[in-house]
Structure 1
Amino acid sequence: MTEFISLSDIESAPAGVWPNTPVTPFMRQTFLAALERNGCVGPGTGWTPSHFCNDDLLIPAYVKDHSYGEYVFDWSWAEAYARYGMDYYPKLLLSVPFTPVPGPATSRGNELPDNFAAVLNEHCHSQQLSGWHLNFTTSALTEQLKQQQMPDCPHQRTGVQFHWFNRDYESFEHYLAHFVSRKRKNTLKERRSVSGQGYRCQRLTGTDIEAEHIHFFYQCYLNTYRERRSTPYLNEDFFQQLRQQMSDQMLLVICSNSEGPAAAALCFYDQTHLYGRYWGALVHADALHFEACYYQGIEFCIEKGLKAFNPGTQGEHKIARGFEPVLTHSFHWLAHPGFHQAVGDFVQEERQHILQYQQAARAQLPFHRTS
């Protein structure tokens, strides 16, 4: 069985665990370290870094005291534990914090070591954790974990996100040509509404993104949380560090009118994908969110030849704009045999509803049937 050590500091991992070409922006040491260095995870946050590491790879992991910031919702499981006088927290989460992006579980993007699920089981027993949860797995990792031969193997849970796919579109107009007439007119109407209100959107990448741009973006991001009477997970220092160290993978959209900047959306990208992550506005303007978060991203993907655009979780409003329902996967193991079985029954039943929902959502896509 592979031997791992536990790390509480991502920057102390051996240099050899990081490949020359990062597998996703969020699996870069820079991104994960910025979360720790700027206090987004660590003491007082309910996210205690507890990474698994050997000489070849690192697997980000956190001991959680709550379920915020995960996007695979298990609050009802915690409530069930409480009804029986048991503690659901702390638990172990293997995931990039606050990042619901399907991706690899390791720094090198390969599959997990053989028998790693058994390693996690034993770790939870020894550390008195209620169980472990691995969120947003790749297709390859999903298949690997489904083949686990264990008496109490982890349960697979299924969800839905809405992703955009580039089918060799030459322009945004070429993309819209694949829409049925009514949906195409609706999209054009939204874009004209934004320009008609006097807004113009600018896309910034790389060294064109300056500290003042990130400061403005953060004011927008913060305001959106305030309006929801919520507290943001991330602080400005985190975003400023990313600007300094990985702006080569950042896309910042800033929307302005005659009075100045009014809204912003921050995305990340790699060689094949764009990932929409953060949005905020200081104004309420018709369709401005759709323009900044979706249409500008689609245009960027077409210009750069990127294959897909993952704009984040939830949002059925994405369907009418051409974002297709795709399945996401996570795996869950609970140390208590009775609750582990109950969760297995739940996710099996839930999966049937998810598959029906995906089918219904797909029927609402705006494309011609032959597209």
Structure 2
Amino acid sequence: MRKTNVAASENAYYETDVSNATDAGAVASSREIEIASGSEIASTADGGTGVAIDLNSDMGESFGRWKLGDDEALLQVVSSANVACGFHAGDPSVMLRTLEYAASRGVVVGTHVAYRDLAGFGRRHVDAAPAELRADVMYQIAALEGVARSVGAAVRYVKPHGALYNRIVRDEVQAQAVVDAIRSVDDSLAILTQPGAVVGQVAEAEGLRVFHEAFADRAYNADGTLVSRRLPGAVITDPAEVAARVLRMVQCHEVEAIDGSIVALHADSVCVHGDSPFAVAMARAVRARLEAEAIVIRSFAPSMSDSAESDSQSAVTGAWMSVSGESDNQTLKPGPQMTDSAESDNQSAKTGVQLSVSPESDTQAARGRGLTCVS
């Protein structure tokens, strides 16, 4: 018998129409959401398994003549993009160029807000006063929204970057400042963070939509935390292996930990780091593997041009994937988060993750949809 651990988050928001469902795997309507798994149930008209997933990437992080990542290539693979707002990376010209290409590809955009730390790429902790941090985040959101509007795009969510992301996992004061900034500029925006993060709890209390994420290319400990980057095997670089892990996360809502145990994983997002030489190949491999299983790739946050029905579906939390265009050794959007400092590693482990339904229930629900789980 395999050893099983539970480390997961429940959906922050979801719709239900299950009064006529006869069992856990039944779909009562084309817009039903499977609450137990954290996966969005797509319309059967999509011709797939009924599971819809978003591919998301951090981009717009070049600066002047310095280029980071292959945004154009990734924008041909993903369906949502987190765009840097000039504080940790990016500049006005890069923002405009990224948004123009994203709009031409029909890719939904979100703001990638950060500390004011260009020299440190947003990886250094800043003890900003709440009022200052609130103003900085407001400035970044407003700037990206304005540029996006000029190219016919609409910002749909906020994803904090690097050290700020990690800080507000546990710091309620800075978390409140970020949430206040979002609500002050545009309270229709959702926020993306890791399971169990303080900022997620604050955001929910303030009425914002919250999405959580896990990681495709990082090894997990048995308790659901990420293996420190200092340890062998912490980062997975083989595209085929990463694609297989993502498929298992999506179909069975679990991941194999570094010690061989099984961790139940109920995230709304799966992040794949995207700045390595294998970044684009990895993203393409993941998408190809999912589509081979008839899993639909689409954004969790529809654009303004979508129908009212699609817009209402944007409030639904579904499993979705993220492809990060940031440095692999940087503090990125973990769930749980890991950084390069032992102190931050320990703090991440302490924050932990929220418990969800049992992995047995997940497996039964997945099999009820006709999906094959890895035993």
TM-score by shorter chain over 0.5: no
TM bracket (short chain): under 0.3
* Pair member with larger Rg: 1
Q: Larger helix proportion, structure 1 or 2?
A: 1
The structure whose RCO (Cα within 8 Å, separation 6+) is larger is 2
TM-score, normalising length: structure 2: 0.27
Q: Larger strand proportion, structure 1 or 2?
A: 1
TM-score, normalising length: structure 1: 0.28
